[in-house]
DNA sequence: CAGTAATTCCAAATCGTTTTGGATAGTTTT
DNA sequence: AAAACTATCCAAAACGATTTGGAATTACTG
């Protein structure tokens, strides 16, 4: 069924070698034979077998991405934007992206072994770094090219190429913004502690409080899934225990959206009775009600740059920068407002 | 660096054949030698070369998905949910998903040729069927397994396996819902005409109007991108030309969210001054302000079933059903309400 | 004890390319 | 006319697995 070099060889009378070299444009094949061969190939609809090429050339022009088992927010905007950036840049450089889904934590490393050890991909992209991340340990040991969206936790070495937002500074900005509005009781909804960036966000929170002269109340902090549902439940629980909280910081926008729903369900007007802010600036943040105050993170661009970095590594080049911390920008929208019974000074 | 069968053979003194058969669990290798070989393989961290396996076995256990050049809404919820469903089901059945991004319409078919003709994948998944879709024509000609999210336009043959929502009925439900609320001037925002489902949604609109005894006004219908921005601009333009419209149907939720913003920007209260409804029931629809009345479509589930269908086809099985039209359900939320100056009858 | 049947192993072919290291014939240089 | 190039072509060896079709040895049958 499928046309192979051998078929073209048989039809034209030339050897497989010559066919291959003609198609590849080598100069050691006569211009006329080359034209003839090209025409026959065209005629037959020849399409080189990519798998055979991969085997022979020992490169795949493919990047791997495995979806972690517990990435419940995979279909959320953060992952989608990242993937869009990755696949855009990959296409630009003639790479494909191989995606594999882990069904359980245990299965995850097996997939990395299959893709990397099995030579299915030339490089890997990881997202959502974890504490003592076994995936990173494995890739390090294999000396296989990889890049990571997000550095390691502060107390671990980040000895790998990554791009990460300066979320510590980002959360500080949020705390400053809220305390400027008069909030003194600010809750924090974090993802599970095993996620590497959790610690940075907690640090930023503590630093922000200190800068504002506010005490750190451990019970104002809770952990939950990075999803709308996670934010919803965390908020219910937090407001149940501490009804006097006037502001909530969620570690990502998805949770913030859930938090807004939970607050609204309690009859609170978000932006007036309670301020809720997020992190990421996903597209939905601008269109939520009320529009979400948040920290902007260029996720699509991160995907692109990460991919460009990875492809450099694969090519054996030294990327200009291999550890990038991106500045964060505060985006003030209407989900944050003056604290309810705040009056001392203020001009609006 | 990498361990091959040959290395294990050399080390153990057995032949490559025996190593291979031992690892594959054939019965013609002695239990003890097998155990020994397994141990050595384990010791060396042997990982079979997947590319070599693919070449020899002539199957890849990989499904292909190419992101169309103009899929501006790829990072929107519809695509992400679909992809999540696809990769979940694929993982279940030990398949990977190969994603390639088309940078232009012209490039698109080339990618299909490279993946399909180049034997990189065992089957393809298409989304967003177009009129006279060249991708479908190509795959048909190749007799390569593929499935499609969305059937062909009504006047074209849908002679391929697909899953599609009954969007004609869905839009009828929306029109009925709006006319029940007293709306008599209902605008419609459609995607570009080359998208196959556009026609179904237009038909549903016309049928709905007829059933409600309302006239069809062609100028109430406009076309735009399936994105928030598309819905935004279409709404601006529609309300500029026809300020007396009291309801708007957007062909998907993303456009509906944009439409709400545009209406709100004109000072209209959505759900009171104007009703806006969408289609898809993406997660954000529930969390928008006001929450969006829409038609529910089980996108994640569609991805899963589509993938299961495709894998059946690859295995040469006859799938139970290969052309599935899903029922649509109306989800009433608060973005739709009574028409402004409606009074005749009504008990609320 | 010859003949048959299991058991255990392996050489070689194959999948479809790319690349190496010539071979051959024609052309130019001395 | 021999020597040295050039221009074209190709056989064979990879890449790393799987599978076919025995071979060699041992065990069992009648």
Contact criterion met (CB < 8 Å) for A119 and B2: yes
What's the CA–C1' distance between A55 and C14, in Å? 15
Judge whether residue A217 contacts strand D, using its CB and a 7 Å cut-off: no
Residue B63 phi, psi (nearest 5): -110, 145
Contact criterion met (CB < 8 Å) for B47 and A117: yes
The upper half-sphere exposure of residue B34, i.e. CA atoms within 13 Å in the direction of its Cβ, equals 11
Judge whether residue B272 contacts strand D, using its CB and a 7 Å cut-off: no
- The residue extents of the domains of chain B are 5-48, 62-164+299-321, 167-297
Residue A209 and residue A245 in contact, taking contact as beta carbons nearer than 8 Å: no
Is residue A98 scored above 60 in pLDDT? yes
Is residue A284 scored above 90 in pLDDT? no
Class of residue A32 by CB neighbours under 10 A (exposed 0-12, middle 13-18, buried 19+)? exposed
Reported confidence tier of residue A346, pLDDT bands at 50, 70, 90: very low
Across residues A12-17, what is the average pLDDT? Answer: 96
pLDDT digits (tens, 9 = 90+) for A62-86: 999 999 988 888 878 889 999 999 9
For residue A58, give the nearest of B58, B55, B114 by alpha carbon: B55
Distance of CA B345 to the CA centre of its chain: 42
Give the model's pLDDT for residue B333: 97
For residue A329, give how far its alpha carbon lies from the nearest alpha carbon of chain B (Å): 22
Is residue B328 scored above 90 in pLDDT? yes
> What residues in A contact B145, CB-CB < 8 Å?
none
How high is the mean pLDDT of chain B?
95
Q: Do domains A5-48 and A62-161+306-320 have the same CATH topology?
A: no
CATH of B5-48, one of 1.10.287.110, 3.30.470.10, 1.10.260.40, 3.30.450.370: 1.10.260.40
Q: Which of A75, A261, A290 sits opposite B84 (nearest CB)?
A: A75
Q: Which of B67, B83, B288 sits opposite A288 (nearest CB)?
A: B288
Lowest mean pLDDT segment, chosen from A216-230, A267-281, B299-313, B330-344: B330-344
Lowest mean pLDDT segment, chosen from A108-112, A193-197, B60-64, B317-321: B317-321
Q: Which of B287, B288, B289 to mutate to test the interface with A (most CBs of A within 10 A)?
A: B287
Give the model's pLDDT for residue B348: 36
Instruction: Give the integer Cα–Cα distance in Å for A255 and A234.
Output: 9
Q: What number does CATH give the domain A62-161+306-320?
A: 3.40.50.2300
Is residue B313 scored above 70 in pLDDT? yes
Across residues B317-322, what is the average pLDDT? Answer: 87
- Cis status of the peptide bond prior to B290, with omega within 30 of 0: yes
What's the CA–C1' distance between A43 and C27, in Å? 35
Contact criterion met (CB < 8 Å) for B50 and A284: no
pLDDT digits (tens, 9 = 90+) for A187-244: 999 999 999 999 999 999 999 999 999 999 999 999 999 999 999 999 999 999 999 9
Q: Does domain B62-164+299-321 have CATH number 3.30.479.30?
A: no
For residue A344, give how far its alpha carbon lies from the nearest alpha carbon of chain B (Å): 32
Instruction: Give the integer Cα–Cα distance in Å for B131 and A148.
Output: 40
pLDDT digits (tens, 9 = 90+) for A249-270: 999 999 999 999 999 999 999 9
What's the CA–C1' distance between A22 and C25, in Å? 20
Reported confidence tier of residue B229, pLDDT bands at 50, 70, 90: very high
CATH architecture, range B167-297: 3-Layer(aba) Sandwich (3.40)
Judge whether residue B101 contacts strand D, using its CB and a 7 Å cut-off: no
Give the model's pLDDT for residue A343: 55
Q: Can you spell out the DSSP letters for A306-322?
A: HHHHHHHHHTT---S-S
What's the CA–C1' distance between B16 and D27, in Å? 27
Please give the DSSP secondary-structure letter assigned to residue A193: T
- Cis status of the peptide bond prior to A20, with omega within 30 of 0: no
Contact criterion met (CB < 8 Å) for B99 and A100: no
> What residues in B contact A67, CB-CB < 8 Å?
87
Looking at chain B, which residue has its C-alpha nearest residue A74?
Answer: B84
Contact criterion met (CB < 8 Å) for A100 and B91: yes
Q: Which of A47, A74, A283 sits opposite B113 (nearest CB)?
A: A47
For residue A191, give the nearest of A162, A158, A153, A217 by alpha carbon: A153
Max Cα-Cα span within chain B: 93
Across residues A322-340, what is the average pLDDT? Answer: 96
> What residues in A contact B261, CB-CB < 8 Å?
287
pLDDT digits (tens, 9 = 90+) for A181-202: 999 999 999 999 999 999 999 9
Per DSSP, the three-state class of B114 is helix
For residue A209, give how far its alpha carbon lies from the nearest alpha carbon of chain B (Å): 30
| Residues of A 227-266 whose CB lies less than 7 Å from any atom of strand D | none
Place of tokens 């589509």: B306
């Amino acid at each position: 069924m499928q046309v192979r070099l051998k078929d073209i060889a048989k039809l034209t009378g030339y050897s497989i070698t010559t066919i291959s070299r003609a198609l590849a444009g080598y100069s050691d094949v006569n211009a006329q034979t080359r034209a003839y061969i090209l025409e026959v190939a065209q005629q037959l609809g020849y399409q080189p077998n990519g798998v055979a090429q991969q085997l022979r050339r020992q490169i795949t022009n493919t990047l791997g991405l495995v979806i972690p088992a517990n990435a419940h927010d995979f279909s959320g905007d953060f992952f989608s934007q990242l993937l869009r950036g990755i696949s855009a840049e990959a296409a630009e450089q003639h790479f494909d992206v191989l995606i594999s889904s882990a069904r359980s934590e245990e299965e995850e490393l097996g997939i990395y072994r299959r893709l990397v050890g099995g030579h299915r991909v030339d490089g890997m992209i990881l997202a959502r770094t974890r504490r003592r991340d076994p995936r990173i340990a494995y890739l390090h040991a294999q000396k296989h090219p990889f890049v990571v969206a997000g550095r390691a936790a502060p107390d671990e070495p980040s000895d790998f190429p990554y791009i990460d937002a300066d979320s510590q500074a980002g959360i500080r900005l949020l705390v400053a913004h809220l305390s400027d509005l008069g909030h003194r009781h600010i809750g924090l909804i974090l993802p599970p502690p095993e996620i590497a960036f959790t610690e940075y966000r907690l640090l930023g929170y503590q630093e922000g409080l200190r800068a504002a002269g506010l005490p750190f109340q451990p019970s104002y902090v809770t952990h939950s899934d990075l999803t709308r549902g996670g934010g919803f439940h965390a908020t219910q629980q937090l407001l149940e225990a501490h009804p006097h909280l006037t502001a909530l910081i969620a570690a990502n926008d998805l949770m913030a959206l859930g938090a807004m729903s939970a607050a609204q369900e309690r009859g609170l007007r978000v932006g007036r009775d309670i301020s809720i802010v997020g992190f990421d600036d996903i597209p939905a943040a601008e269109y939520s009600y009320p529009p979400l105050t948040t920290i902007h993170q260029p996720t699509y661009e991160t995907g692109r740059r990460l991919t460009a970095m990875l492809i450099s590594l694969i090519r054996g080049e030294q990327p200009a920068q291999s550890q990038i911390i991106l500045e964060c920008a505060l985006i003030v929208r209407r989900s944050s407002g003056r604290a309810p019974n705040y009056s001392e000074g203020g001009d609006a």
